[in-house]
Amino acid sequence: MSDLDGKRVAVLVESEYIPEEIAAYQRVFPERGATVDLVSRLWGNSEVTFVSDVDKLGKALETLTVNIDLDSVNVEDYDAVIMCANYVSVRLRYFVPPDNSSTDWAELVRSAPAVQFFARAMAAPTIVKGALCHGLWIVTPNPDLLKGRRVTCHRVVLADILNAGAVYDPAPVVTDADLVTGDSGANVLPFIDAICEKLVSE
Domain that holds residue 49: 8-201
**pTM for the complete prediction?**
0.94
CATH number for 186 = 3.40.50.880
Question: Is residue 54 one of the residues assigned to a domain?
Answer: yes
> What is the SS3 assignment for 201?
helix
**pLDDT above 80 for 192:** yes
How far from each other are the two terminal CA atoms of the chain, in whole angstroms?
17
Question: Is residue 143 one of the residues assigned to a domain?
Answer: yes
Number of domains in the chain: 1
Question: Is residue 2 one of the residues assigned to a domain?
Answer: no
Question: Is residue 81 one of the residues assigned to a domain?
Answer: yes
Question: Is residue 30 one of the residues assigned to a domain?
Answer: yes
User: Mind listing the pLDDT tens digit for each residue in 114-171?
Assistant: 999 999 999 999 999 999 999 999 999 999 999 999 999 999 999 999 999 999 999 9
Distance CA(85)–CA(182), nearest Å, equals 9
Question: Is residue 3 one of the residues assigned to a domain?
Answer: no
For the chain, the C-alpha Rg in angstroms (whole number) is 16
Residue closest to 72 by CA, chosen among 102, 38, 108, 109: 38
User: Mind listing the pLDDT tens digit for each residue in 57-91?
Assistant: 667 789 999 999 999 999 999 999 999 999 999 99
> From the DSSP assignment, how many helices (H) and strands (E) are in the chain?
6, 11
Report pLDDT for 55.
Answer: 65
